[in-house]
Amino acid sequence: MGVVLKKKSSKHGIKVKHHKLSKDIPIETARIPEKVVIPLQQHIGAPCKVTVKRGEKVKVGDKIGESDAFVSAPIHATVSGEIKGMTKVINPPTGMPVDAVIIESDGKDKWGKFEGVDNIEDISAEDIVKMIRNAGIVGLGGATFPTHVKLSPPKDKVIDTVILNGCECEPYITSDHRVMLEYGREVLLGLSVISKILSPENVYIAIEDNKMDAIEKMEDLILEMGFEKEFRIVPLCSKYPMGGEKTLIKTVLNREVPIGGLPLDVGVVVQNVATAKAIHDAVFYGKPLVERVVTVTGDIKSPKNLLTRFGTPIKSLIEYANGYEIDDMEVILGGPMMGISQFDMNFPVTKGTNSILVKRARKVNEGECIRCGRCVNTCPMNLLPTMFVKYVKRGMYEMCKEIFVDDCMECGSCAYMCPANIPIVQYIKIAKSELRKRR
């Protein structure tokens, strides 16, 4: 059996224009800001409590936030300098305020001392998971679920397959693409760490076929590094939302995650390629997660892929890309399908920020549902999007729960296909938010 397997495709999903404006632009290191604002919750799970005081000096990688909760991830200083105090920022996914630490940079970029391992065979899987947690690593594909939790399945859940997600199906975003091209060796070593922890029978690397250069690069590295007996590349037809965990599992393995279930319920763990790179850095170098590659793209003068410290204001990255090309612009954190519009240009880059998209603001008038069924036919989760809208408009939130609103991954395919321009995902977010309040 070869390294690259036969191409696969999903029955569900939509064809969207790729707009990968920055796919051929190498990663640059963004300027270190004079001041960073670092939220203490950049992950799914419990927020961290601040562990530093005003006036305290810190180095890059020093821990500034921690939580005793299992589902959480520590927060680290991303510049060296002085703690200037605390503030509040609005967390875009939830719309809720969260605490944040302000650090004024000293301009010296001093790093703390960290120790990694030379050979993962010299350390236990349990100790590796501790290193990953201490490094504050979360899923960098957008979900920000603490990685150590994913790598610690319950004893009654047997994980037989790991899928490394290199699909990056969202239009415009190219950060994962560039990570595979420029840090492919580190990605594969990070994948070998994941494999050691979980001991799966099969390890697949899933990449869409609009990234043939990444497929070829990873194939060459697998052969060069001697992983040809362990890792297999699965090319996938480019289709949105191929990168969704449940869609990916169904396409690659023909396994369906049960309603209300998780990938581990069908013996699978899915990790993002950028997360694998961060795992490599944490295990082999002892490096905490303090930066990530962010695509800055859209209607700007110079689209870029920027290695960016967390806490950097998004306006400075847009300025680094030579600014806007238009006046009536909208700034989106993420891509056009799942991204969230951001009104505050001083909002900081966080662990979940894979892209900053600038595009022309467009006023859309919402119409009435014409019962065409396009949203239902398009939904990769086989849900009833039009019914969510109906129930939310009537305040019937419990009915949304009855038809599995929590299983919606908010991919936006339904809204994209809706001829009446109904913002279906926004209605779904309202339902989820109201149900969280009631719980």
Domain-by-domain residue ranges, the chain?
120-285, 374-438
Across the range 15-23, mean pLDDT stands at: 95
Confidence at residue 61, expressed as pLDDT on a 0 to 100 scale: 98
- Return the closest-CA partner of residue 123 out of 50, 193, 38: 193
What span, in angstroms and rounded, lies between the C-alpha atoms of 314 and 345? 6
Token pair recorded at residue 211: 């990234």
The residue with greater pLDDT, 438 or 385, is 385
Mean pLDDT confidence for 225-247: 95
Q: What is the average pLDDT across 13-36?
A: 95
Among 3.40.50.11540, 3.40.50.1580, 3.40.50.620, 3.40.50.300, what is the CATH number of 120-285?
Answer: 3.40.50.11540
**What pLDDT shows up at residue 1?**
57
In tens, the pLDDT along 272-315 reads: 999 999 999 999 999 999 999 999 999 999 999 999 999 999 99
Query: Residue 94's pLDDT band (boundaries 50, 70, 90)?
Result: low
Question: Whole-angstrom Cα distance, residue 15 to residue 213?
Answer: 21
Confidence of residue 428 (pLDDT cuts 50, 70, 90): very high
- The overall average pLDDT reported for the chain is 94
Query: Are residues 203 and 300 in contact, defined by beta-carbon separation less than 8 angstroms?
Result: no
How many C-beta atoms surround the C-beta of residue 160 within 10 A? Answer: 14
Tell me what the mean pLDDT of segment 124-152 comes to: 95
Tens-digit pLDDT profile for residues 367-418: 999 999 999 999 999 999 999 999 999 999 999 999 999 999 999 999 999 9
Q: What is the mean pLDDT of residues 255-269?
A: 92
Average of per-residue pLDDT across 18-29: 97
At 287 the pLDDT is 98
Average pLDDT of the residues in 218-233: 97
pLDDT of residue 9 exceeding 60: yes
Residue 338 has what pLDDT? 93
Q: How far is CA 395 from the centre of its chain?
A: 31
Q: Respond yes or no on whether the N-terminal peptide bond of residue 258 is cis (omega within 30° of 0).
A: no
Helix (H, G, I), strand (E, B) or coil at 255: coil
